[in-house]
Amino acid sequence: MNRVHYNISGLQNPQMKTQVENALGKLNGVQMVNVDLQRGTIEVGYNKFTIESEIKHCIQHAGFEVE
């Protein structure tokens, strides 16, 4: 499993955490999503069917800025 880690701005509450987790969970090949509100980070585990740029786009489409 591949992993990618992003610093995210705009993660402010549990509802936003759930929103981005649900969005990423819908991507084909995403196997794990860890969101840390205190640090403002997201870690995503994915397999070969997912392209890293799709993960980043999904986070941005959910309304968050990838730093």
| CATH architecture of the domain with residue range 2-66 | 2-Layer Sandwich (3.30)
Cα 4 from Cα 42, distance rounded (Å): 8
- pLDDT score recorded for residue 67: 87
16: left (phi over 0), alpha (psi -120 to 50) or beta: alpha
Query: What pLDDT, on a 0 to 100 scale, did the predictor assign at position 41?
Result: 96
Domain ranges of the chain: 2-66
**What's the pLDDT score for residue 39?**
93
Alpha-helix runs per DSSP H in the chain: 14-25, 52-61
The number of C-alpha atoms within 13 Å of 60 and in the hemisphere containing its C-beta is 8
Low-confidence stretches of the chain (pLDDT < 50) are: none
Q: Is-above-0.85 flag for pTM?
A: yes
